[in-house]
Chains A and B, each alone.
Chain A
Amino acid sequence: MNQATDLIAGAPTVFMWVASFFAIFFALIVFVSSNPISCAVALMGTLFSTAALYFSLGNFFVGAIQILVYAGAIAVLFVFIVMLLDLKPQKLKNLPGRLPHFLFSGLVAGLLALFLFRTIDLVPKATEDSSASILSATQYAQYFLSQYQVPFQAAGLLVFGAILGAIVLARGHLGKKEHS
């Protein structure tokens, strides 16, 4: 944990740099690639890199959850869907027609980036022990059953609703012939 303390205020380690680089690299691949499966795999790569970043910050629990849920479930689900539906690579058709749209999106995203980068300087730099934010599973449980009780229950409801929704969708009300 003391390591983590140094790391907050201190310079990033090589590990962090590498993880950061890969995170951004894979995100770029997601953006640029025209093949859906490439996008999906690149997404997985981003998720792993981000998990690495969490580990380097000392927050092992969150990193573990990241790999388990995000990389292990969501990204897999994406890959599954891409393969199920057999999505083909999409050529960039009628590029000239879409150019204004690309430019505009780039502009807006760039503006957003600009705003966001300017706020980094506003964040105070931590100097002491940051162990308060790195929680173990036990601590999480304690928090969720006391302070964050309400969000916890709400999240439970949310998942419940999602399950119901999934069942409804799976039964296929849109087309009777799927249900056989």
Chain B
Amino acid sequence: MIATGQLIFSVAIFLFCFGALTFFTKRSAVVALMGIELMLNGVNLVLVQAGQIYKNAEGTSLVLFVTLVAAAEAALALSIFVILYRKYGTLTLENFRSLKG
């Protein structure tokens, strides 16, 4: 059977990969951002588990920072999305191609 650590890590990997997939494939910007949150979650999980394995406080401390950054980032990103929606009427990522070329 598998150990706890292996299970937790597997879950974390799944979370991260699904988050990545969500970010790559969704048309709506908001949903893509959700993918980012999923990825960050996966990372948090890894950090906690690794902290427990290596028996030091670094992992769990870092988790707090990651959570903090995620919160700040989500807030600002969503504000920007609101403004974008107001200006362009759509949040479909296909329309935002000004970096092309």
Write the nearest CB–CB distance from B22 to chain A, whole angstroms.
5
Question: Judging by beta carbons under 8 Å apart, are A9 and B3 in contact?
Answer: yes
Interface of A is mostly: helix
Bound together, the chains give a CA A99 to CA B47 distance in angstroms of 35
**Do A74 and B1 touch across chains, with their CB atoms under 8 A apart?**
no
- Asked if B8 and A53 make an inter-chain contact with CB atoms under 8 angstroms apart, the answer reads yes
User: 0/1 per residue, B47-77, Cβ < 8 Å to A?
Assistant: 0111111111101110111011111111110
Q: Given the interface contacts A30-B35, A54-B48, does A10 sit within 8 Å of B78 by beta carbon?
A: no
Q: For the complex formed, measure the closest distance between the CB of A79 and the CB atoms of chain B, giving whole angstroms.
A: 10
Question: Which chain B residues in 16-69 approach chain A with CB under 8 Å?
Answer: 16-22, 24-25, 27-28, 30-31, 33-35, 37-38, 41, 44-45, 48-57, 59-61, 63-65, 67-69
- 1/0 contact trace for A128-158 toward B, CB 8 Å? 1110111100011001100110010001001
Q: Which residue of A has the minimal Cβ distance to B1?
A: A11
A109's partner among B6, B17, B27, B74 (CB-CB below 8 A) is: B17
Interface residues of A in 47-93 (CB under 8 A from B): 47, 50, 53-54, 57-59, 61-62, 65-66, 69-70, 73-75, 77-78, 81-82, 84-85, 87, 90
A-chain residues with CB within 8 Å of residue B75 when the two chains form the complex: 77, 162, 166
Are the CB atoms of A133 and B15 closer together than 8 Å? no
Q: Chain B residues near A58 (CB, 8 Å)?
A: 52
Q: Which A residues touch B92, using CB under 8 A? A: 90
B15 touches A143 (CB 8 A): no
Complex contact B37–A24 (CB within 8 A): no
B68 touches A16 (CB 8 A): no
**Is the pair B53, A130 in contact by a Cβ cutoff of 8 Å?**
yes
Q: Is the CB of A78 within 8 A of B78?
A: yes
Expressed in whole angstroms, the minimum distance between the Cβ of B72 and any Cβ of chain A is 4
A112 lies within 8 A of B87 (CB):
no
- The distance in angstroms between the C-alpha atoms of A10 and B55, with both chains bound, is 16
A125 within 8 A of B: yes
Task: Name which residue of chain B comes closest to A164, CB basis.
Answer: B76
Would you call A84 and B4 a contact (CB within 8 A)? Answer: no
Does A96 belong to the interface (CB within 8 Å)?
A: no
Instruction: List CB contacts (< 8 Å) of A81-128 with chain B.
Output: 81-82, 84-85, 87, 90, 98, 101-102, 105-106, 108-110, 112-113, 116-117, 120, 123-126, 128
| B contacts, CB < 8 Å to A | 1-11, 13-22, 24-25, 27-28, 30-31, 33-35, 37-38, 41, 44-45, 48-57, 59-61, 63-65, 67-76, 78-83, 85-87, 91-92
CB pairs A–B below 8 angstroms (10 shown): A12-B2, A20-B10, A54-B48, A65-B64, A129-B55, A148-B61, A151-B65, A158-B69, A159-B68, A166-B76
